Amino acid sequence: MFIAVFVGMVCNNNNKAYLVLSTGEVFEGKSFGAAGCVSGEAVFTTGMTGYLETLTDPSYYGQIVMQTFPLIGNYGVIPSDFESTRPSLSGYIVRQWCTDPSNFRMAGDLDAYLKKNGIIGISGIDTRRLTKIIREHGVMNVRIISVPENNEIDQSTDEKLLLNNPVEKEKLLKSIKAFEVKNAVVSVSPKRENRKENGKEDRRSGRTIVLWDFGAKKNIERELLKRGFDVVSVCAQTSAAQIIALNPAGIMLSNGPGDPAENTEIINELKILCSKKIPIFGICLGHQLLALSQGAATEKLKYGHRGANQPVKELKTGRIYISSQNHGYTVVPESLTGGAEVSFINLNDQTCEGIRYKEFPAFSVQFHPEASAGPLDTAFLFDSFMKLIDTKEF
C-alpha cells in the first residue's frame, strides 16, 4: 500500500532536461520548475527536511543545489517557513518531487513555486551518483538545460549537440568552467538602510542589536526578538560609523554567500567596530569575516558542509552537538593570532567551527544555532550573546 501511494505522489513530467558537469559528464532527467539554461556551482545538502529553508537561504546565491534525500516537496510550500522573501540559488536538483503534497499550512506546490520565481530545476537523475562525483572531485561548475515540450530553447542546447557534437560540447564546457560566483553579498543584502524589526517605538527595550545583513536568514532575527532585543537591520554597505551612531548594545554578523575574503570593505569596517569593544556575535559568513578582520585566513573546502546533521564539539566542555550548516569556506586555525582561540571543531574533518576572542567581547560560530538542528542543541548561543552584552564576560 505504501509503495502505491509513494509512486502516485512523484513527478510524471516527461519534458527533457540535462545536467552538464564541467568534467563533461551529462545526466539526462526531466524538467522541473522554470525552463531555460543556467550555470552555477554545484553543491549538495543532506537534510531530510527543510527544503523550503534551503530554497530561501541567501547563502546559496550563485549555486545549483542538489538535495541528497530522494523525495522533495511532500509538504508543499509554506511561506511562514521561508528564510528570505525569495530564492537566491541559481538552480535546483532533486531525485523526485512530489506532485501531490499534503500539509495544513501549505500554500502551493514546489514546482509552481520554482516557476513563479524563475528557478530552473531538474529531476529524475541519479543524485546518489552525482553526490559521489562531487565528493571525489570537489565542488564543480555545472549547467542545467531544461528543454520545454515545444523545444523553443536555442539550438545550441539541443540534445544532439550535447551528446554528439564534440566541437559544440567543448564550447559549452568552456563556458561552464568560466562561471564564477562574484559580488555575492552585495547581490543578496537588502538595498535599503536601517529598518526596525520589532515595530512600535513604545515597545523599545533599550537594548538594540544591529543585525549586519550579509544575506541573513529570518530566524536569526526571530531568535534575537524572542530574547527581548530591539533589532535594527542594516545592509552590507553600512559603515562602522553608521553602526556606531545607532548606539547598539551588540552587533550580530549574519550568514551570507560567496568567498568571505572578497568583502574587503566590510572587513575593514569590522576592524573599526572590534576596536570599539561592542559585543559581537558572528554566524557562518559573519564568523569568517570577523576572523579575517583580525588577520586570520580562510580557505575553500573540497565540497563544503551543508545539511542538518553535522556534529560539532565544544572544546571547553567536551560536549558534542548536532548542528545545521551551509558553508563552502572555513577559517584556517593556524592563522589565528594569540587574541583568538578555537572554541568548536567539526568532528567529521576537525575544521574550525567556532572562535572566541580574548581582547574584545566577541565570539562566532561557523554553524547555524538558529536553525533548530538537534533540534535546539546550539540555540543557547543566543543566550550567551545576551550574557556577553549584560556582563561583557563570556
Q: What is the DSSP string of 118-149?
A: T-EEEESS-HHHHHHHHHHH-SEEEEEEE--T
* Amino acid making up residue 57: D
**Does 368 participate in catalysis according to the annotation?**
yes
137 is catalytic: no
**Annotated catalytic residue, options 287, 305, 327, 368:** 368
Q: Which long-range contacts (CB under 8 A, 24 or more apart) does 355-361 make?
A: 355/287, 355/290, 355/291, 355/331, 356/394, 357/274, 357/290, 357/294, 360/274, 360/275, 360/277, 360/280, 361/277, 361/278, 361/279, 361/280, 361/388, 361/392, 361/394
Cα first-last separation, the chain: 55
91-93 and 71-72 strand pairing: unpaired
Asked if 57 contacts 217 with a C-beta cutoff of 8 angstroms, the reply is yes
Report the alpha-carbon distance of residue 95 to residue 348 in Å, rounded: 26
C-alpha cell at position 220: 536569526
Active-site position among 11, 37, 274, 284? 284
For 314, the enclosing helix (H) or strand (E) is strand 298-314
What is the Cα–Cα distance from 198 to 221, expressed in whole angstroms? 10
Torsion from C-alpha of 11, 16, 21, 27, nearest 10 degrees: 70
- How far apart CA 284 and CA 276 sit, in angstroms, is 22
SS3 of 338, please? coil
Strands 140-146 and 16-21, by their bridges, are antiparallel
Q: Are 295 and 335 in contact (CB under 8 A)?
A: yes
Active site residue 284: yes
Whole-Å CA distances, 301 to 206, 252, 381: 41, 25, 25
Contact criterion met (CB below 8 Å) for 25 and 179: no
Can you tell me the distance from the alpha carbon of 234 to that of 67, in angstroms, rounded to the nearest whole number?
A: 32
Catalytic residues: 284, 368, 370
